[in-house]
Amino acid sequence: MCGIVGYIGNQQAAPILLNALKKLEYRGYDSAGLATITDSHVCIKKDAGTLVEVNTKHQLNELPGIAGIGHVRWATHGAVTASNAHPHLDCNQEIAIVHNGIIENHQELRSRLSARHRFTSDTDTEVIAHLIEEYASTGSSLEEAVRLTSRELKGSYAIAAVSAKEPGKMVAARKDSPLVAGIANGGNFVASDCLSFLEQTDRIIYVEDGECVILTGDKVSLFDNDGHEIKRTPSKASWKVDEATKQGYDFFMMKEILEQPQAIRHALMQDRTLMMEMALEILRARQVLFTACGTSRHAALIGRYVFSRLSSKFCDVVMASELGYFSDSVDKNTLVIAVSQSGETADVMNGVKKAKENGATIFSLVNVVGSSLARMSDRVAYLNCGPEIGVAATKSFTAQLTILYLLAYTMINRFDQGVGQLNAVSDLIADNLQHNGLEVPKIANRMSRKNDFYYIARGINFATAGEGALKLKEIAYVHAEGMPAGELKHGTLALITEGTPVVAICPGDYTFDETLSNIAETKARGARVIGVSDRQEPAFDEWIEIPEVDEIFYPLVSIIPLQLFAYHSAVARNLDPDKPRNLAKSVTVK
Ligand code: M6R
C-alpha cells in the first residue's frame, strides 16, 4: 500500500505533488510528506496524520523547488509517527526517497549499514536511502546508485529518489509494486497510479518489474536492470479526470453505490469473441480455480454457484493468500480465474505467479487497465466501472458479478439473453436504490447501538451474507459475521440472545423456505431480524425490500441495500466511510 508520486518540470512542484497525493490517499492515509529540491538542497516536511492534517500543520504546498517527491503512508514497519513518515533521507540529507512495498531483508541491510549510517526511523524503507548514499559516495550517478541498490533489495518496491547533487533529475524503480510514468507539457511524473496526475496528462508509460525510469523536466527514459535503454511507446490512460472526483457527494462510497446500475451496463460491454473464447476454455479446462481476496472473493464465490447452476461447470474458489499452498494440485490442466478490482493485490499476484510457474492458464477479471495482474494474464475481461476510490469495494463487486453471469450465459451459448437480462436487472436496481435510499438509513439509525451482527443466507446468496458483513466491519467497525444459514445451529446460535441483530438474506427463491426456518430458530432465541427479501414476512422485525428477479440474480439486487446499510451505519457513528482505520484500497503487501 502507500502512494508515491514524483514531479519534475517547470512549475513549483509542491502544489502539484499535494494535489496528486490527494488522489492517492485511497492507498494510505496515516502519514504524509513531501521533499523538494531547491538551491542544491533537500527541503522536507512530513508527519503523522491525514494529508489535510499534515498540510494544515506544515504547509507542504509552500516547499520551494521545481522537482520533488511525495508520499501517503499505510504503515507496515514502524508505528505511525513523524519520523516513520516518508520521504526518508540519507545521512547527509542530500538524497530523499519515497517507497511503496516491503523490503524483506531490511534487518540484514540495516545491520550492515548501521556502523556507518545514522538511522532515524523504524521503517524498512530507510535502508534504501542509505544504500543509495553508499553507492553515490563512491562516485555513482543517482540512476546507477538506484540500480545497484535495487539489486540488493528483497521484497517489493516502487521507489522514487531525488538528490540535491543532481537537481535536474529524478530516478524511480520498481519490483512487484505498481509504478507508472506520465509525460506532460512542461513536466513529467512518476506515481503509483496515473489517477494522481491525470489533470496534467493522460500520456503514460507503465514501468515493468526490474526497470528503472529517469525523469528530467523534458524527458522520460526507461532502462532495464543492466542499464540498457528500453524504448516503449506511451499509452493513453483509460480514465477521465472527473471520474475520480466526488461530483458533489459527501463520500466516494455513496457516489460509487449509486453508480451501480451504470456499472452493470458498462461491464456488459464485453467483446463477444473474447467472452466466447473464455467460456470455451472454462468449459474445456479439467480444473477451474477462482482466486481473489475480500470482496472480489465474495464475487468469485457467487460466480461459482452461477457457473454450476447455469452452465453445470463445477469450480472451486481458493483465497488468494492460500493458493500457493495448493501448488501440488495446480498444473497445466488448471485454469485460474483471478478476480481483482485493482489488479495489484499482492496476495493475488503471488498466488497467480505460482500457478503460472506450474503451467496454469490465467484469466483475470480486473478493473484497472494495465495493472500488473492484467499484464500477466493470458486473457483479461475488464470491469469497465471507472475508478473506485472508496476503500470499501461496491461497484467493482457488481461489475465482477455481471461478467461472471455473462460468462455463464456464454457457456450455454446465450450471450444475448444474458445481456438482455442483466440490463433489465440494472433498471430494477436503479428503482430499488431510490426506495432503499430513503428506507435503509432509518433502519441503520435504529440499529446504531448494536455491536454484533450475524448475516445469514443459503446457496447462491451465502456469499452476499459474507459481503454484507464485511462492509459493516470495515467501515462501521461493528463486529459482523456472515455465514450459511444452515451452519448457524452448529455453534454460532449460542451467541444469539435477546435483541441480537440477524440480517437474513431471504429472497423468494429456492433457498426461501429453509432460510425462513433458520430465521425462526434465531427468533426463538430473541433475535431482531432484518429481512432482505422481495417478500414481506411476519418474522422480519425490519424489512429491506429488494425487487423480484430470476433466482440467479438475487445476489446482485441484495448486496446493494446492504452496502447502503453499512454506509449509513458508518455515518450514524460519525465515521468516514471512505477512509476506514487500518485499511487501504490497494493491498500491495503480502
Ligand atoms: O483490488 P482487489 O479486488 O484485489 O482487492 C481485494 C480486497 O483487498 C478488497 O476487496 C477489500 O476486501 C475491500 N476493501 C473490501 O471492501
Q: pLDDT for 326-356, tens place per residue? A: 999 999 999 999 999 999 999 999 999 999 9
* CATH classification at residue 80: 3.60.20.10
Domain boundary, last residue among 204, 237, 270: 237
Query: Do 83 and 50 fall into the same domain?
Result: yes
Residue 280 has a pLDDT of: 98
**Ramachandran area for residue 343 (φ above 0: left; ψ -120 to 50: alpha; else beta):** left
Query: Do 385 and 406 fall into the same domain?
Result: yes
Q: Which of 253, 256, 290, 295 to mutate to test the pocket of ligand 1 (most atoms within 8 A of CB)?
A: 295
Residue 421: inside a domain: no
Residue 419: inside a domain: no
Whole-number Å distance between alpha carbons of 526 and 447:
15
User: Does ligand 1 come within 6 angstroms of the Cβ of 584?
Assistant: no
Q: Is the pLDDT of residue 180 over 90?
A: yes
Query: Do 183 and 257 fall into the same domain?
Result: no
Ligand 1 atom closest to 342 (CA): 1
Query: Do 26 and 52 fall into the same domain?
Result: yes
Going from the Cα of 75 to the center of ligand 1, the distance in angstroms, rounded, reads: 18
SS3 435: helix
Provide CB contacts within 8 A for 182, sequence distance 6+. 188, 189, 190, 191, 194, 197, 200, 201, 203, 204, 205
Query: Do 117 and 216 fall into the same domain?
Result: yes
User: Does ligand 1 come within 6 angstroms of the Cβ of 342?
Assistant: yes
Query: Do 227 and 250 fall into the same domain?
Result: no
pLDDT digits (tens, 9 = 90+) for 528-560: 999 999 999 999 999 999 999 999 999 999 999
Query: Do 447 and 319 fall into the same domain?
Result: no
Query: Do 81 and 173 fall into the same domain?
Result: yes
Ligand 1 atom closest to 295 (CA): 10
- Ligand 1, atom 11, lies closest to the CA of 294
Whole-number Å distance between alpha carbons of 99 and 243:
27
Whole-number Å distance between alpha carbons of 344 and 589:
10
Tell which residue, 366, 36, 18, has the closest CA to residue 197. 18
Residue 582: inside a domain: no
Q: What percent of the chain has pLDDT over 70?
A: 100
Domain boundary, last residue among 187, 208, 237: 237
Domain boundary, last residue among 189, 206, 237: 237
Q: Is the pLDDT of residue 584 over 90?
A: no
Edge-to-edge strands, sheet with 88-89: 88-89, 95-103, 155-163, 170-175, 212-215, 220-223, 229-230
Query: Do 259 and 216 fall into the same domain?
Result: no
Cα atoms in the 13 Å half-sphere on the side-chain side of 63: 27
Q: What is the mean pLDDT of the chain?
A: 96
Residue 426: inside a domain: no
Residue 74: inside a domain: yes
Q: Is the pLDDT of residue 453 over 80?
A: yes
pTM score, whole prediction: 0.89
pLDDT digits (tens, 9 = 90+) for 512-535: 999 999 999 999 999 999 999 999
Q: How far is CA 307 from CA 288, 312, 443, 462, in A?
A: 11, 6, 34, 15
User: Does ligand 1 come within 6 angstroms of the Cβ of 345?
Assistant: yes
User: Does ligand 1 come within 6 angstroms of the Cβ of 295?
Assistant: yes
Query: Do 293 and 208 fall into the same domain?
Result: no
* CATH classification at residue 521: 3.40.50.10490
Q: Are 337 and 300 in contact (CB under 8 A)?
A: yes
Query: Do 211 and 250 fall into the same domain?
Result: no
For the stretch 119-148, what's the b/e string if a residue is b when 16 or more beta carbons lie within 10 angstroms of its beta carbon? Answer: bebebbbbbbbbbbbbbbeeebbbbbbbbb
Whole-number Å distance between alpha carbons of 251 and 357:
41
Neighbours of 359 (CB within 10 A): 11
Q: How far is CA 19 from CA 34, 45, 52, 178, 499, in A?
A: 12, 16, 11, 19, 47
- Ligand 1, atom 8, lies closest to the CA of 294
Residue 40 has a pLDDT of: 85
Residue 8: inside a domain: yes
Q: Is the pLDDT of residue 1 over 80?
A: no
| Sequence-distant contacts of 114-118: CB under 8 A, at least 24 apart | 117/90, 117/91, 118/91
Catalytic residue among 46, 313, 395, 585: 585
The angle at the Cα of 529, spanning 523 to 531, to the nearest 5 degrees, equals 130
Whether 585 is catalytic: yes
User: Does ligand 1 come within 6 angstroms of the Cβ of 293?
Assistant: yes
Whether 506 is catalytic: no
Q: Are 503 and 468 in contact (CB under 8 A)?
A: yes
Q: Is the pLDDT of residue 589 over 90?
A: no
Residue 499: inside a domain: yes
Residue 439: inside a domain: yes
Q: Furthest-apart CA pair in the chain: how many Å? A: 80
Residue 106 has a pLDDT of: 97
- Binned at pLDDT 50, 70 and 90, residue 239 comes out as confident
Find the domain containing 274 and state its range: 244-413
Query: Do 219 and 288 fall into the same domain?
Result: no
- Binned at pLDDT 50, 70 and 90, residue 245 comes out as confident
Count of domains for the chain? 3
Residue 588 has a pLDDT of: 76
Q: How far is CA 13 from CA 64, 65, 87, in A?
A: 7, 6, 15
